[in-house]
Amino acid sequence: MKNNFKFLSALIKLRLSHIMTFRLGFFGPFFIDTSYFLVQIFAFEAIYGHVDSIRGWGHGEILIFIGTFSLINALNMTIYFFGVISIPEKIQTGELDLYLTKPVNPLLRITFEKVNPGSIPLLLFSACIIIYGAKECGTSFSGANVIGYLLMILLMAILYYDMELLIRCFAFFVFSVNNLVKIESTAIELCLKIPGIAFYGIYKVVFYCILPYGIIATLPTQMLIGVLSLKGILFGMTIVCVFTFLALSFWKYGVHKYESASC
Amino acid sequence: MKKYLEIAKAYMKTQLIWRWDTFIDVVLAMAKVIFAWILWSILFEGKEQIAGMGFYTMISYYIISSYLFQLDKSSEISQQMTNMLRNGTFSKYMVIPVHTQAYFVAMAAGKIVFSACICFFTTILCFYFSGISFVAAINIKILFCGAIMIALGLLFMAELNYFLGILTLKFEEISTFLMIKDNFSAFVTGAVVPLALLPEWMLSGMRYLPFYYVTYLPSMLLIGKQG
């Protein structure tokens, strides 16, 4: 464990000195995230300018929801996104061999080797949106709610990672995962626009249990506004555990079946 | 002209090789419509109209705009150009007797024609399963204008992606530009939300951008909302 931390710290130092070399590359994620963030804000304005509330959630709650999704996405972009999305290319070109032959956990290295601080400003923008949403709600949040919210954010960031990893691991078995990624982004786009509480019937099963993007921002928001029950907390924790287990097992299975690009 | 027609034909045939890609394209087009259905059925709860559009008009808009959005295959141009410039294979376009820009436009056209036929059936299926009768503009002149606008819009997107691909000659990597373009174009073409939902001042501003005429205006014309 101690060695892993030492390794991670060295990896991040190397990464930072590398991205400082290319200034546009350093600020790239910031521009990408800002554009994505602006688009989401405009889309929010366009939709919720005509709708007063959804299943009891007013503008304040929806703003917290959007801010929370943006916050988790910013964490994803800062910490692991650029590492995880490189998995299919590494598999196709055989570059994964270099990772498998090193005396370090290959997944750990891939996950953290492309840490990018360019998305840190988005964390601040998202926090501003959440604070603004909280003001709109007009209710004060207890310390326990805020701590619970932060823990939920952490759990949901792990779930986001699990989903990204699961989809990219298909590259071990198929020629291209581009279209799967398109389906992933379409599902994320939908779940970013409407809170999970609005889903019902089969849609609820799909977006809570099969493609659990529906809970990623919903559960933390419910936690912050104090409406998340113990059952909801347990459900969130179970889903994270199940998907973490699935993602890691799928990765291990993929590596086991991996025959390198030359075979 | 004939050689570009041949290039378009060759790329159209190439699409047949990737049958699973075609299948996923169809699934994706349907998923977009299903997701739009879920979103708007929730938002329309207790409402007859939003921004002057009824529920079925909104879904018709999404089916048509999703079809038009699926048609645009030109984003592959910039990706292909950047890869080829980086690994040195781009020089092949310099030794064949074609204009590089026209070659890439012809390539996109070939892919679009194939995609247009496949996605047309998807669109028909979407209308059939959703039980919505197609609210089309009956006026033949408007339909003709819509068709011209779609063709020009697709040409514009191909040229834009060619231009972004050329940036590889100047920058180490262009994925930042491409991702920003993807984020903005999805919104300003009206593929994310109908632009009619935006405030009037924003909509007026968008009329000066070519993206407005790529997906949004043709879709609105085809559902008979503008003319």
Of B51, B172, B186, the CB nearest to A25: B172
- Exposure pattern of B71-89 as b/e (b: 16+ CB <10 Å)? bbbbbebbebbbebbeeee
- Percent of chain A predicted with pLDDT > 90: 33
What is the average pLDDT value for chain A, to the nearest integer?
A: 86
Chain A residues with beta carbon closer than 8 angstroms to that of B35: 186-187, 189-190
Helix, strand and coil in chain B, % to nearest 5:
75, 0, 25
Contact at CB, A51 and B43, closer than 8 angstroms: yes
B47 and A202 Cβ atoms separated by less than 8 Å: no
Contact at CB, B43 and A194, closer than 8 angstroms: yes
**Does residue A22 surpass a pLDDT of 70?**
no
B192 and A39 Cβ atoms separated by less than 8 Å: yes
Looking at per-residue pLDDT, the higher value among A1 and A170 belongs to A170
**Does residue B28 surpass a pLDDT of 60?**
yes
How far, in Å, are A2, A12, A47, B126 from residue A207 at the CA level? 37, 34, 21, 22
3-state secondary structure of B37: helix
* Minimum distance, in Å, between the CA of residue B9 and any CA atom of chain A: 24
Of B25, B173, B184, the CB nearest to A25: B173
> CA-to-CA distance for A204 and A199, rounded, in angstroms?
5
**What residues of A are in the B interface, CB distance below 8 Å?**
22, 24-25, 28-29, 31-32, 35-36, 39, 42-43, 45-47, 49-51, 54, 176, 179-180, 182-183, 186-187, 189-190, 193-194, 198-199, 203
Chain A residues with beta carbon closer than 8 angstroms to that of B175: 28
> CA-to-CA distance for A206 and B200, rounded, in angstroms?
37
CA dihedral B21→B81→B159→B106, nearest 10 degrees, is -60
Nearest Cα residue in chain B from A190: B35
Q: What angle do CA A89, A93, A97 make, to 5 degrees?
A: 100
Contact at CB, A193 and B39, closer than 8 angstroms: yes
Nearest Cα residue in chain A from B199: A46
Mean pLDDT on A165-187: 83
Chain A residues with beta carbon closer than 8 angstroms to that of B27: 183
Mean pLDDT on A173-196: 80
Mean pLDDT on B34-49: 81
* Minimum distance, in Å, between the CA of residue A49 and any CA atom of chain B: 8
Digit-coded pLDDT (tens) for A60-99: 888 899 899 989 988 998 899 988 998 988 888 888 888 9
Domain segments of chain A: what residues? 2-257
Chosen from B35, B185, B202 to mutate, greatest number of chain A CBs within 10 A: B35
For residue B200, being part of any structural domain is answered with yes
Digit-coded pLDDT (tens) for B69-110: 878 878 888 888 888 888 888 888 888 888 888 988 898 888
Alpha helix ranges (H) inside chain A = 2-21, 23-48, 59-79, 81-84, 87-93, 96-100, 106-112, 120-137, 143-168, 178-193, 201-205, 213-216, 218-225, 230-257
Supply the range of the domain harboring residue B47: 2-222
Taken in order B202, B205, B211, B213, the sign of the CA dihedral is: positive
Contact at CB, A189 and B176, closer than 8 angstroms: no
Confidence class for position A151, pLDDT limits 50, 70, 90: very high
pLDDT for A230 equals 93
Which tokens is B45 given? Answer: 């709860």
Looking at per-residue pLDDT, the higher value among B20 and B226 belongs to B20
**Does residue A140 surpass a pLDDT of 80?**
no
- Percent of chain A predicted with pLDDT > 70: 97
Chain A residues with beta carbon closer than 8 angstroms to that of B193: 43, 46-47
A115 and A12 Cβ atoms separated by less than 8 Å: yes
**Does residue A12 surpass a pLDDT of 90?**
no
Nearest Cα residue in chain A from B26: A179
Of A39, A187, A194, the CB nearest to B183: A39
Of A43, A183, A203, the CB nearest to B187: A43
**What residues of B are in the A interface, CB distance below 8 Å?**
21, 24-25, 27-28, 31-32, 35, 38-39, 42-43, 47, 50-51, 171-173, 175-176, 179-180, 183-184, 186-187, 192-193, 195, 197-199, 202
For residue B227, being part of any structural domain is answered with no
Contact at CB, A187 and B186, closer than 8 angstroms: no
For residue B191, being part of any structural domain is answered with yes
For residue B127, being part of any structural domain is answered with yes
CB–CB contacts below 8 A, A to B? 85
Residue that is written with structure tokens 């496949």 in the block:
B118
A11 and A113 Cβ atoms separated by less than 8 Å: yes
Contact at CB, B42 and A194, closer than 8 angstroms: yes
**Does residue A14 surpass a pLDDT of 80?**
yes
Amino acid letter, B100: T
A195 and A65 Cβ atoms separated by less than 8 Å: yes
Chain A residues with beta carbon closer than 8 angstroms to that of B200: none
DSSP string, B146-184: HHHHHHHHHHHHHHHHHHHHHGGGTSS--HHHHHHHHHH
B35 and B58 Cβ atoms separated by less than 8 Å: no
Total domain count, chain B = 1
* Minimum distance, in Å, between the CA of residue B110 and any CA atom of chain A: 20
pLDDT for A209 equals 92
Each as own residue / partner, the long-range contacts of residues B106-109 (CB below 8 Å, 24 or more positions apart, any chain) are B106/B4, B106/B5, B106/B7, B106/B8, B106/B11, B107/B7, B107/B8, B107/B11, B107/B77, B108/B73, B108/B74, B108/B76, B108/B77, B108/B154, B108/B158, B108/B161, B109/B8, B109/B11, B109/B158
Chain B residues with beta carbon closer than 8 angstroms to that of A43: 187, 192-193
**Does residue B136 surpass a pLDDT of 70?**
no
Pairing of strands B53-54, B49-50: antiparallel
